[in-house]
Chains A and B, each alone.
Chain A
Amino acid sequence: MKQLLTALRRTPYQTLAVFSSLFLTLFLSLFLIFFLNFLYGLLGYIESRPQVTIYFQNEVSEESILKVKGELEQTGKVESVKYISKNDAYALYKNLNKDNPLLLEMVSPDILPASLEIFAKKPAYLPEIATYLNTVTGKDEVNFQKNVVDKLLSLTSVIRAMSLGFFVFLMSTTIIILTTITHFKIALKKDEIELLRLMGASAGYVRKPFMDQALFLGFITSTVVYMLFGGIFFFLYPSIRGYLSGVQSLFVDLGPYKLTVWPISIEYAGGLYILLTGFGMCIAGLATYFATHKYLIIQRG
């Protein structure tokens, strides 16, 4: 460790250049990852809301509504159908407005419509279900969120594609910059490398101090980025919480495991740190490997 720190201290400008390039890349990458995770969480949240809701006119009997429910369930295209009677609607209304007695006094169960909340198995079934609901006798209104979900889906795809492109560009640029900086470092150590090779040092032995420095800088930079990002996030936390009011939690679906993105879970925070550190060390290590590779082949005439 002492040798490593001495080597970094003796090349302050190269060290600073590596740190700065890595810092920019890692900060932007962390922002992208974080943003995308939030977006996916939000998409999942919206998809979990009732996708089609039909409100019935007052004179429609509960029996007729349950008949419609049964017909929908038999289509095989719905995940679930939830019947909300007038009384249920009133209970919900009371709960939502419990702090406002004036609003409660003005409303009775009679004026609230009964409804069905329908969750489709696939977003593709939504138009068909909505068309069917529009033909139901006694229908008052059909609320259909397909457009919102579709827009969010396409927005997420575009952002994901753009982020991926940007991410690849950022990573390759950083690797090129770090490789160039490491070339400078190697040029400074050219005599030593030459001598070590003549004395029988293996490529790994010569590469090791450069790799150690790169991995150390990768680790330190990602830790600094993470801490700074964390600081900014907690500074903005009240605003984000205000913006997401009403949203209990956001998840990212990772197959068998659901990662809580909001509010930030320890698993998510830890996972991000490991990912960022691994990424930082990987970029720095890869760039150093490329830079040292051509110097370490025994050139025999």
Chain B
Amino acid sequence: MIQFEIVTKMYPLGVAALDGVSFVIDRNEFTFLVGTSGAGKTTILNLILGDLYPNVGTVIVNDIDISSKKNDQIEELRKHIGVVFQDFKILHDKDVFENIALGLYIQKLSLKKIKEQVREVLTLVGLQDRERYFPVQLSAGELQRVAIARALCGDRHIILADEPTGNLDPKTTWDIMKIFKKVETHKTIIIATHNTDIVNSMKKRVLVLKKGKLIKDVQKGGYEL
């Protein structure tokens, strides 16, 4: 469960990225964060990830208070969070298998288990025949699928995606969303996006942000600002 309680996040020079935001996202819930640029979507994702801490209020993720400055707690929390970035963040000196296995090595799994899990998730994202390909040999859509596979791998039950389809064409965008649909029953998924079509079509919970304030929280909502 993810819980924001009257969270305010100020950036230097007094810019309020979030202003008294409160919401609760349950386990295995699928949520869209929408809003214009600078509305606070990425700040919410960074707070959940423990990359930022709130100036006011509390953020609790998996029973861990993010405001706590204990590094080991944040490290432990991050082992259960998968992140998908708009620019993929794929390591170019590693092949598809190595990129996906990164998080599994951190969890200190045996090589046998790592191979099993990577192959399982590669099948899920439809890249089972690309295991030993290097990033330069893949298209943008395939790279994003590798990034999603990396986020899904291991015991990561919270998936944060920041504009995951921002750099992709409409067809690839839908392929990516289908992957999220496949895992939605056993993962908490939070996607920050500008993509109106996706939000409107998928009929999931939508949190609408404007200038750092949560202005709407709609179950099975659409894209409206």
Binding site for B on A (CB under 8 A): 10, 191-192, 194-203, 205, 298, 300-301
Q: Which residues of A contact B72 (CB under 8 A)?
A: 202
Q: Are A199 and B103 in contact (CB under 8 A)?
A: yes
Q: Are A191 and B79 in contact (CB under 8 A)?
A: no
Known: A194-B89, A195-B91, A301-B52. 7 other contacts (CB 8 A): A195-B89, A196-B102, A197-B78, A198-B51, A200-B79, A200-B106, A298-B74
Q: Are B93 and A300 in contact (CB under 8 A)?
A: no
Interface flag for B146 (CB, 8 Å): no
Q: Are A199 and B102 in contact (CB under 8 A)?
A: yes
Size of the chain B interface, CB-CB below 8 angstroms: 24
Instruction: Please pick, from A195, A199, A200, A300, the residue contacting B53 in the complex, using a CB distance under 8 A.
Output: A300
- Residue of B with least CB distance to A298: B71
Which 7 A/B pairs are nearest by Cβ-Cβ distance? A200-B78, A200-B79, A199-B103, A201-B106, A301-B52, A200-B75, A298-B71
Residue among A10, A199, A201, A301 having the largest count of chain B Cβ atoms under 10 Å? A199
- Residue of B with least CB distance to A205: B106
The smallest C-beta distance from A169 to any residue of chain B, in angstroms, reads: 36
- Check A195/B76 contact, CB under 8 A, given A10-B93, A301-B51, A301-B52: no
The smallest C-beta distance from A3 to any residue of chain B, in angstroms, reads: 10
Interface flag for B212 (CB, 8 Å): no
Q: Which residues of A contact B114 (CB under 8 A)?
A: none
Interface flag for B176 (CB, 8 Å): no
State A301–B91 Cα separation when bound (angstroms): 25
- Check A200/B77 contact, CB under 8 A, given A191-B89, A298-B71, A300-B51: yes
Interface flag for B69 (CB, 8 Å): yes
Within 8 A of A (CB), among B66-124: 69, 71-72, 74-81, 83, 89, 91, 93, 102-103, 106
The smallest C-beta distance from B85 to any residue of chain A, in angstroms, reads: 9
Q: Are A198 and B106 in contact (CB under 8 A)?
A: no
Q: Which residues of A contact B102 (CB under 8 A)?
A: 192, 195-196, 199
- Residue of A with least CB distance to B80: A200
Residue among B79, B93, B106 having the largest count of chain A Cβ atoms under 10 Å? B106
Q: Are B83 and A198 in contact (CB under 8 A)?
A: yes
Q: Are B79 and A199 in contact (CB under 8 A)?
A: yes
Q: Which residues of A contact B164 (CB under 8 A)?
A: none
Instruction: Please pick, from B53, B78, B81, the residue contacting A301 in the complex, using a CB distance under 8 A.
Output: B53
The smallest C-beta distance from B61 to any residue of chain A, in angstroms, reads: 13
30 cross-chain CB contacts under 8 A:
A192-B91, A192-B102, A194-B89, A195-B91, A195-B102, A196-B102, A196-B106, A197-B78, A198-B51, A198-B78, A198-B83, A199-B78, A199-B83, A199-B102, A199-B106, A200-B75, A200-B77, A200-B78, A200-B80, A200-B103, A201-B75, A201-B106, A298-B71, A298-B74, A300-B51, A300-B52, A300-B69, A301-B11, A301-B52, A301-B53
Binding site for A on B (CB under 8 A): 11, 49-53, 69, 71-72, 74-81, 83, 89, 91, 93, 102-103, 106
Residue among A194, A202, A300 having the largest count of chain B Cβ atoms under 10 Å? A300
State A202–B77 Cα separation when bound (angstroms): 11
Q: Which residues of A contact B75 (CB under 8 A)?
A: 200-202, 298
Q: Which residues of A contact B81 (CB under 8 A)?
A: 200
Q: Which residues of A contact B106 (CB under 8 A)?
A: 196, 199-201, 205
State A196–B49 Cα separation when bound (angstroms): 13
Q: Which residues of B contact A197 (CB under 8 A)?
A: 78
Q: Which residues of A contact B52 (CB under 8 A)?
A: 300-301
Q: Which residues of A contact B69 (CB under 8 A)?
A: 300
The smallest C-beta distance from A254 to any residue of chain B, in angstroms, reads: 43
Instruction: Please pick, from B49, B53, B76, the residue contacting A198 in the complex, using a CB distance under 8 A.
Output: B49
- Residue of B with least CB distance to A10: B93
The smallest C-beta distance from A298 to any residue of chain B, in angstroms, reads: 5
State A10–B91 Cα separation when bound (angstroms): 15
The smallest C-beta distance from A185 to any residue of chain B, in angstroms, reads: 13
- Residue of A with least CB distance to B43: A301
Q: Which residues of B contact A203 (CB under 8 A)?
A: 71
Q: Which residues of B contact A298 (CB under 8 A)?
A: 50, 71, 74-75
State A19–B50 Cα separation when bound (angstroms): 39
The smallest C-beta distance from B44 to any residue of chain A, in angstroms, reads: 14
- Residue of A with least CB distance to B108: A205
State A199–B159 Cα separation when bound (angstroms): 11
State A298–B53 Cα separation when bound (angstroms): 12
State A192–B52 Cα separation when bound (angstroms): 20
Q: Which residues of B contact A201 (CB under 8 A)?
A: 75, 106
State A286–B81 Cα separation when bound (angstroms): 33
State A300–B74 Cα separation when bound (angstroms): 11
